Amino acid sequence: MAMKAAAIVTLPLTSNKPLHSLSHLNLSKPKPLPTFLISASSSSMSIETTPVKESTPLFLEQRASKFLHFVKYQGLGNDFILVDNLDSLEPKVTPEQAAKLCDRNFGVGADGVIFAMPGVNGTDYSMRIFNSDGSEPEMCGNGIRCYARFITELEDLKGKKSFTIHTGAGLIVPEIKDDGKVRVDMGQPILTASDVPTKLVATTDQAVVGAPLEVNGVTWNVTCVSMGNPHCITFGTNECQVGLLVHVELSRAKLESNLELCTCLIHNCDWFLMLFEIIAKKRRLTLALGQSLQVDDLNLSDVGPKFENHEVFPSRTNTEFVQVLSRSHLKMRVWERGAGATLACGTGACAVVVAAVLEGRSERSCTVDLPGGPLEIEWKEEDNHIYMTGPAEVVFYGSAPL
């Protein structure tokens, strides 16, 4: 039976050797392996070893140029093949090869291939990425955290905690924190409709905020944000957003009205909600807001592509479906342009907080739950920049034939 290797991998279980040499993989000079002579009968089986000559050809003895050395990282389950490309601004693999490498059945398996390249325009480094379908996005939030961890080990930057990276979305500045997490200055969000880009008509100051969008016969309310790459954020359809349940818990002391407990169902009345918030402060009431959209119930593989390829998004779009748990806690699922459903999307989490703030649903600092885990997102008023903090970890080291 003929067999073809998709990749040779080394799992980082006990080794702490640096990544910059990858010498511990021994890919260029494999040791000769013994062969076995096996004989068996109905009653017994014997095994004899036979020495192998040094000249015996092995598949690992092919020229190194036929293999791509890489390190696989993941950020909250969003996984990437990281490639040392510091000697050139030209990627070592083509988009077609990247798509094959990302295939989870016939390749290494990943959401994208990221290239660490030399800096341009005064930056320390440059980054390019090919999605699992071979397309090239401007940037990737989870990918940039993986990139930062890769660079620190690749360049052995023990004393340096922060550096500058040129991306298709502009300048990105990651910082490695003491706990190993990566905090990234993601820059300022882009809200002007034509720059996102989207053909939707602006609703406020040239931005698309809470605008209706018909997708497959259903009207969704969407906000459009660019983090250097386009995002369409929705908190639900017209039908599911009208249900806002307000529970009012009164203190033991009777109020002037002598009410003990009331539960009010409010339909599409933002001013009413504001009134209740004022009353809550004055009478020490507690409000619990229930959001009707349940993101876990979505058929993402059905609705996601319809958003991604909608005619109002000339460059296609990433789409985030959001459930509000509180004003500082959001939950989202994402359909990524060129990658489909993924466990996490860093730029998407940033865009979600921007949209939630613009729609009056959250504070500027939020925990955003994704299928792969939480990200901490802050949209600072002082500089209008968005800061993302989250993990990035090595999965394995490897080499794959091209």
Q: Assess whether 317 and 354 both reside in one domain.
A: yes
Examine residue 75 and state whether it is found in any structural domain, yes or no: yes
Examine residue 40 and state whether it is found in any structural domain, yes or no: no
CA distances from 325 to 35, 94, 342, 359, 361 (A): 61, 42, 21, 15, 10
Q: Assess whether 70 and 219 both reside in one domain.
A: no
Q: Assess whether 302 and 367 both reside in one domain.
A: yes
* pLDDT attached to residue 4: 53
How crowded is the C-beta side of 363, counted as CA atoms within 13 Å? 10
CATH at 219:
3.10.310.10
Structural contact between residues 135 and 309, judged by C-beta atoms closer than 8 angstroms: no
* pLDDT attached to residue 37: 46
Q: Assess whether 366 and 323 both reside in one domain.
A: yes
The residue assigned the tokens 């918030």 is 277
Question: What does the DSSP assignment read for 183-246?
Answer: EEE----B-BGGGTT--SPPSBTTB--SEEEEETTEEEEEEEEESSSEEEEEEEEHHHHSEEEE
Q: Assess whether 199 and 334 both reside in one domain.
A: yes
Query: Which residues of the chain, if any, have pLDDT below 70?
Result: 1-65, 239-292
Domain count for the chain, please give it.
3
Tens digit of each residue's pLDDT (9 = 90 or more) over 107-128: 999 999 999 999 999 999 999 9
**pTM, whole model, 2 decimals?**
0.74
* pLDDT attached to residue 239: 65
Domain hosting 85: range is 8-24+65-187+394-401
* pLDDT attached to residue 201: 97
Q: Assess whether 132 and 112 both reside in one domain.
A: yes
Examine residue 49 and state whether it is found in any structural domain, yes or no: no
Examine residue 58 and state whether it is found in any structural domain, yes or no: no
* pLDDT attached to residue 183: 97
Q: Assess whether 89 and 139 both reside in one domain.
A: yes
Dig out the tokens for 83 from the structure.
């490639």
Nearest-angstrom CA–CA distance, 341 and 320: 10
Nearest-angstrom CA–CA distance, 162 and 332: 29
Nearest-angstrom CA–CA distance, 397 and 116: 16
* pLDDT attached to residue 233: 98
* pLDDT attached to residue 66: 80
The residue assigned the tokens 């593989």 is 301
Q: How many CB atoms lie within 10 A of CB 110?
A: 26
* pLDDT attached to residue 310: 98
The alpha carbon torsion through 247, 251, 256, 258 (nearest 10 deg) reads 70
Q: Assess whether 115 and 128 both reside in one domain.
A: yes
Q: Assess whether 103 and 85 both reside in one domain.
A: yes
Q: Assess whether 225 and 345 both reside in one domain.
A: yes
Point out the residues that are catalytic. 140, 345
Q: Assess whether 203 and 170 both reside in one domain.
A: no
List the helix and strand counts (H, then E) for the chain.
6, 23
Q: Assess whether 217 and 359 both reside in one domain.
A: yes
Backbone region of residue 179 per phi and psi (left: phi > 0; alpha: psi in -120 to 50; beta: other values):
alpha
Average pLDDT, whole number, for the chain? Answer: 81
Examine residue 52 and state whether it is found in any structural domain, yes or no: no
* pLDDT attached to residue 56: 40
Examine residue 158 and state whether it is found in any structural domain, yes or no: yes
Examine residue 47 and state whether it is found in any structural domain, yes or no: no
288 in helix, strand or coil? strand
